Structure 1
């Protein structure tokens, strides 16, 4: 996580927050979903987080965001995915 710079918060989700982020040494942007591991455990959401990671690792499709990295620290779990500008797809429902 030390190689990332968090630019601004894009939104909150059930099990974390999503930030627009970039590599400090490269002009590459990502959507970084950051989850507090202690909060995941207290809310029994560890399985959901793990399932999300496994699904993103398995997907490979032009129209779906790509998972670039999954970073685990003692405090945080972070999923770095392709940033798709344009907002939240849930508003289209």
Structure 2
């Protein structure tokens, strides 16, 4: 599921949400199918080695990190989250 988006929808729309629950999508396999480096990790200790392998591959990469689906539903600072989402976007206004 897309936890942060779900949390924001639940907060804004009286605990209702739509389009954010998914059954175990394997983003790592999608990346591999597109010729990219794809890797899935399930333990925190696996993250750094996976990132190192991703960089070393020299290709676009996806490191799919499995987390508890209810963890961190709401970011602590929505303004900073908005800045991250919009990074690199040029808006016409």
Please, what TM-score do these two structures have when normalized by structure 1? 0.26
Greater strand share, 1 or 2? 1
The structure with more radius of gyration: 2
Greater helix share, 1 or 2? 2
Higher RCO (C-alpha 8 Å, min separation 6): 2
